[in-house]
Amino acid sequence: MHLAFVRSRSQAGLAAPDITVEVHLGSGLPGFQVVGVSESTTRQIRGRVRSAILSSHLKWPDFNITINLAPTEQPKEGARYDLPIALGLLVASKQLPEQSIEKREFFGELGLDGAIHPFRGCLAAALAATQAGHECGIALAGASEMATLTAGRLIAAPDLLSLCARLRAPDPEYVPGVSSLGTDIPSYPDLSQLKGQPLLRMALEVAAAGGHHLLMTGPPGVGKTMAASVLPGLLPPMPKKTAQELRLLQDVAGVTQCSAPPFRAPHHSSSVASLMGGTARALPGEISMAHGGVLLLDELSEFPYAVLNQLRQPLETGHIRVNRAQCQHLYPAQFQLVAAMNPCPCGLAGDPDSRCRCTPDQVRRYRQGISGPLMDRIDLHITLHRPSPEFLLIKSSPNASYSSDLKHRVGLLQNHQTERQGCLNRELAGDALLKACQLKSSTERWLINAASKLSLSARSTHRRLRVARTLADMAESEVVAVPHLKTALSFREASFTDDVSAF
Ligand SMILES: [Zn+2]
């Protein structure tokens, strides 16, 4: 019987559901059809696979060829099934023994010369295949890194002919893993670069320690963007699961692999799809590419309302659902949000020289563009002013590495939070927040009094409590006391109060 079944995988978000490539060689006039695929796509597949087989000095079967990709509801885009289709044709035409594809899955695009190329999302497919207990046949390019990341048995070859030879061998050679992955480690600016901004430095330390989202309001040139780019350098190495998810996301998006917490700063003119995910190929968006790291939204008020409103779901759940016509993709998006905005349209409100000419109505409209529920999820709101000119002339020591010293401490603090409550302080809510804070009755009374004097809403009070919990952690106190609450409440004040400096 001229029939062959070859295993492969499609892509749905970071998942890789299995696909069986069924190849049937029938009698009748020679022909080629792929079930459920348009004529033009079928012609492209035939062109690539036929050229690859002939260039590899193998025989193109002169039969009425029918190919089915089962289950049929999976999307069948791109060239990702070239390799399994070619191998199916070779097995069905007895050019390759059936045993050579047993308990194996195949991932690769074919060049016209028979070369095997990896595709976006290959890593997720190889990982799923390994978890299913199967070996994988893949392209040689990037195979060592993939072997390290999947810990699977991978058979790699540069082209179709070499792969066939390796598959026929009774003891195929598996790709060895590498001891260390060669990745680009990004370098972030050191904390010492922020001069004359003690409030900003303090806020960054608190944001890093408790994982809090941060909103900075201040005139242009006070170091908001610089501060945001310092933050990923303060974050400890990502947990293993997050690091693996980030690798898979980077592989699906086709960007350079990196194991350090990422820093993404999309422009406010970016489209909703490029930010949230779901371009024509349902690729992950900027918020997913910031998974495990920092997402900076500079000029927050310039972002379309629809974008800011959609941020609520990922901020709450840590993932984003991207809907396409045929499928729904789920991408992780657990990032630390850093937002920056000017105090008014001209950016000079609150300036000591009071050069701002914006009307109160203009300022109100400018700030109203930001959705309230989004603001509720940002624990730390700070207002910045221009530093005195003398601060800018202070030279920082050339070997200063405040960031790396602090990073170690942040790692210890975050571990402590996870041990105590199973999450970072940022994620505390309701009873879990009150339990973690262990407020004494006198502290509770003080907080109720302060909240009513400042007309704080319940959500707003909880935001300050979460920050106070982190401040207490930084002071190695298991109980949140009045000084921690005072500091948490003072963060939003326009000036750098004594309470903060005393901490
Ligand atoms: Zn103004």
DSSP string over 228-270: HHHGGGGSPPPPHHHHHHHHHHHHHHT-----SPPEE---TTS
pLDDT at 391: 65
Nearest alpha-carbon partner for 308 in 265, 345, 275, 348? 275
Ligand 1 centroid to residue 300 C-alpha, Å: 16
Q: Which distant-in-sequence residues (6+ apart) come within 8 Å of 401 by Cβ? A: 190, 192
Provide CB contacts within 8 A for 348, sequence distance 6+. 219, 354, 355, 356
- Whole-number Å distance between alpha carbons of 395 and 321: 47
Count of residues making up the chain: 503
Distance 368 CA to ligand 1 centre (A): 15
Contact in structure between 462 and 468 (CB atoms under 8 Å) = no
> What's the CA-to-centroid distance between 221 and ligand 1, angstroms?
15
CA atoms of 292 and 246, how far apart (whole Å): 7
Residues with CB under 5 Å of ion ligand 1 are: 344, 346, 348-349, 356, 358
Check residue 398 and give its pLDDT. Answer: 59
Q: Is the peptide bond before 398 cis (omega within 30 degrees of 0)?
A: no
Question: Mind listing the domains of the chain with CATH numbers?
Answer: 3-168 (3.30.230.10), 191-414 (3.40.50.300), 428-503 (no CATH)
Res 383: pLDDT: 87
The two tokens of residue 12 are: 């749905």
Strands (E), 71-173: 104-106, 109-110, 116-117, 135-139, 154-157
Sheet holding 263-264, edge to edge: 263-264, 294-297, 336-341, 214-217, 380-383
- Cα(218) to centroid of ligand 1, in Å? 11
- Please choose, from the candidates 376, 396, 393, the residue with its C-alpha nearest in 3D space to the C-alpha of residue 457: 376
**Residue 487 CA to ligand 1 centre (angstroms):** 29
pLDDT value of position 182: 55
Rounded to the nearest angstrom, the distance between the alpha carbon of 297 and the centre of ligand 1 is 20
Cα 282 to averaged position of ligand 1 atoms, centre (Å): 40
Distance from the alpha carbon of residue 330 to the mean position of ligand 1, in angstroms: 41
In the block, tokens 């709101």 appear at 381
* Segment-wise mean pLDDT, segments of 10 residues, the chain, 503 residues: 88 88 91 87 93 94 91 76 94 92 93 92 92 92 85 91 92 81 72 82 92 90 88 89 90 80 91 82 88 93 86 89 77 94 84 78 80 82 79 62 84 93 90 90 92 86 92 92 90 45 33
| d(CA 340, ligand 1 centre) in Å | 16
Tell me how far the alpha carbon of residue 134 lies from the centroid of ligand 1, in angstroms. 63
Report the predicted TM-score, pTM, of the whole model to 2 decimal places: 0.85
- 338 Cα to the center of ligand 1, angstroms: 22
Peptide bond into 71 cis (omega under 30): yes
Is the CB of residue 123 less than 8 Å from the CB of residue 251? yes
Task: State the Cα–Cα distance between residues 273 and 264, nearest whole angstrom.
Answer: 15
* pLDDT of the residue at 149: 83
Rounded CA separation 204/358 (Å): 30
